Amino acid sequence: MTGHVRTGTTAPRAPWLTLRRREMFEGWLFVSPTLIGFLIFFLGPLIAIVIYSLSEWNLLSQQMTYIGTANYQDALTQNPDFWHVIRNSVIFAAGLVPLNMTLALALALALCRPGRGVVFFRTAFFAPVVTSAVAWAIVWKFLLQGEAGAVNQMLATVGINGPNWLREPDWAMVAVIATRVLKMVGLNMILYIAALQSIPRDYEDAARLEGAGNWQIFRMVTWPLLAPSTLIIMVITTIGSFKVFDHIYLMTGGGPENGTLVLAFYIYEQAFEFFNVGYASALAMIMFAIVLVLALVQIMLRQKGSA
Amino acid sequence: MELTIRQAAIVKKLCWTLALSVVAVPFLFPFLWMISSAFKNANEIFGQPSLIPDVWRWRNFVEVFEYQPFARQYFNSIYIAVLVTGLTLILSSLAGYALARMRFAGAGLLMLFLLSALMVPEEVTIVPNFFLMKWLGAMDTHIPLVLLPVFGPHGVMATFLMRQYFVSLPKELEEAGKMDGLSRLGVWWKIALPMSRPALAAVAIITFLFSWNLFLEPLVFLSSIENFTLPLALSNFTDPYGSPLWHLQLAATSLAVVPILIVYLIAQRQIIESFAMSGVKG
């Protein structure tokens, strides 16, 4: 009688196979809730948006007609709003990213070593990150009102006649960038602090023994070692800046004179206020393309950094 | 006047503290101003700026609840955030565990597939999801506010955070559990999960805040005022012409923000670390 005796070396093949098959089954079982939800609420919509973007959809008659790349052509060559919106988004990113990163790095350098008051300041600079964007936007909108706003009243006490921040297109852009930086800089500060703390102190000590000053240490030692983190933080921040919606919606509503109309807001407006579903979908695809390019750059830089 | 090295160090330290305090003003001032204005009446709010109200108007906080069903909206935000957090914890740790520990065909491809989600903003998929929810009859319900965060890029990020943590854990205990006859599910629940408390806490914290602060989804999917969540409710304190009723809006915003701030002050270390974890991985 050859029973199924499971002794290590002479184990029959069949049970081993079922074990493996069982592991495979269980593995897929464990991921299946996530996967199914992902397919329905994420991949499905992603495919749908490609189809929408190639169609004209009249929401009232609920009819969809294939119109090829007309929506894209409309955006890229016909509609002057589109390039205005892209310009705004680029200005927003170009203002926000350097400001955010410089401030984040400066704060991280000041607060990366334990000491008195460090916890207080870290907590303070990070507080807006846990606060809802809606609350932050509401309070700043209140502070930045024309004459009655607290910011301008304070400027007036030192003799500065502040602009009507949110009612003049250029100042409105400055205001939304600055307040967004205040909201998000704490996150990058924390990422920079983590990166700084992972740099062995020996490097700095060695440089100091060689007679290097603080600035030289930063230029020659710290900054080059931070480069991989800087690249990642930069891409995350840039992608985030292209996605900004609630902040703009609440502070300026895209105004004045469309001065702060950025891509995410424009998509929302076209889809849910004007019901141009096809056009909005083409815009969403363009946004996807922008984010994808930025993300691919991030992955390439990451690989280059680790090599 | 010569300074000793010790004195010079103290002066330098004072300068740093002063500089940081100046920088901290625009970070902290909005909170103080929000809370102080929440106690002012509609006229004083535009009078001479002062942090201490002339007359403390507690009625603002009563009127917040009279103006719209604010208690109901508050409850909506809490229960949705709890539900989203619970579901995300279970699903992300299950999937994360499988991706970290189980060898199954297609796992690598699946990882890549899920990773791609991190590159797609919610703003891109919200239009088709709008029609999906309409078709499902879920408009003006809280269903999309639960399902979309759980299964969207945030859920994927949580899954990867959990996976990274499971990978970093030693396998021996789980092997022992298997020897003792625990099923896979048993090993996950009784051994892997208790060992990964820091990761679970991080996922719980960032997920709760993510759901609590969500704005675009409520704006798109909700229409009845009693279904609103807090962020949407806050933006809704306006007079019939659409101008903000500042004293009410700021009182309501204070009510929404202060509890979160108190929890943050108590657990700031843990909360900041959670964001650092998700930031590095996401």
Q: What is the DSSP string of B207-261?
A: HHHHHHT--HHHHHH--SGGG--HHHHHTT-B-TTS-B-HHHHHHHHHHHHHHHH
For the ranges A283-287, B260-264, B275-279, which has the lowest average pLDDT? B275-279
Average pLDDT value for residue range B106-111? 85
- Are residue A281 and residue A233 in the same domain, yes or no? yes
Interchain proximity B104–A126, CB inside 8 Å: no
Residues on chain A touching B128 (C-beta within 8 angstroms)? 44-46, 48-49, 52, 281
Q: Is the pLDDT of residue A1 over 50?
A: no
Chain B residues lying within 8 Å of A154, measured CB to CB: 49
Q: Which residues of A162-190 are buried (b: 16+ CB within 10 A; e: fewer)?
A: bbebbbbbebbbebbbbbbbbbbbbbbbb
Mean pLDDT of chain A: 87
Residue at A69 is within a domain: no
Sign of CA dihedral B218, B219, B224, B225: positive
**A9 assigned to some structural domain:** no
Q: Suggest the residue from A130, A243, A274, A281 to mutate for an interface test with chain B (most B CBs closer than 10 A).
A: A130
Same domain, A236 and A289: yes
Contact across the interface for A130 and B152, Cβ inside 8 Å: no
> With contacts defined as CB-CB under 8 Å, which chain A residues touch B186?
none
Q: Do B30 and A139 touch (CB under 8 A)?
A: yes
**Does residue A87 fall inside a structural domain?**
yes
* Residues A236 and A115 grouped into a single domain: yes
Are A172 and A286 in a shared domain?
yes
Counting residues of chain A whose pLDDT is more than 90, the rounded percentage is: 47
User: What pTM was estimated for this model as a whole?
Assistant: 0.90
Map out the domains of chain B with their CATH numbers: 24-57 (no CATH), 69-278 (1.10.3720.10)
Question: Which tens digit of pLDDT belongs to each residue from B159-180?
Answer: 999 999 999 999 888 888 888 8
Q: Give the pLDDT score at A307.
A: 44
The span from the first CA to the last CA of chain B, in angstroms, equals 54
Residues A136 and A44 in one domain: no
Q: Are residues A47 and A100 in the same domain?
A: no
Q: Taking residues A145-153, what's their average pLDDT?
A: 85
A41 and A119 together in one domain: no
**Is there a single domain that holds both residue A131 and residue A272?**
yes
Q: What is the CATH number of the domain that holds A180?
A: 1.10.3720.10
Residue A71 lies in a domain: no
What is the residue range of A44's domain?
Answer: 19-53
Query: What ipTM does the predicted assembly reach?
Result: 0.91
Q: Which residues of A touch B94 (CB under 8 A)?
A: 30-31, 33-34
State whether A41 and B151 contact (CB < 8 Å).
Answer: yes
The reply to whether A39 and A154 lie within a common domain is no
Instruction: Reply yes or no on whether the pLDDT at B54 is more than 90.
Output: no
The 10 Å Cβ neighbour count of residue B115 is: 15
Is there a domain that residue A144 lies in? Answer: yes
Terminal-residue alpha carbon distance, chain A:
58
Q: What is the distance in angstroms between the Cα of B2 and the nearest Cα belonging to chain A? A: 22
pLDDT at B258: 94
Please check whether residues A143 and A278 belong to one and the same domain: yes
Number of domains into which chain A is organized? 2
A58, part of any domain: no
Same domain (yes/no): A28, A149: no
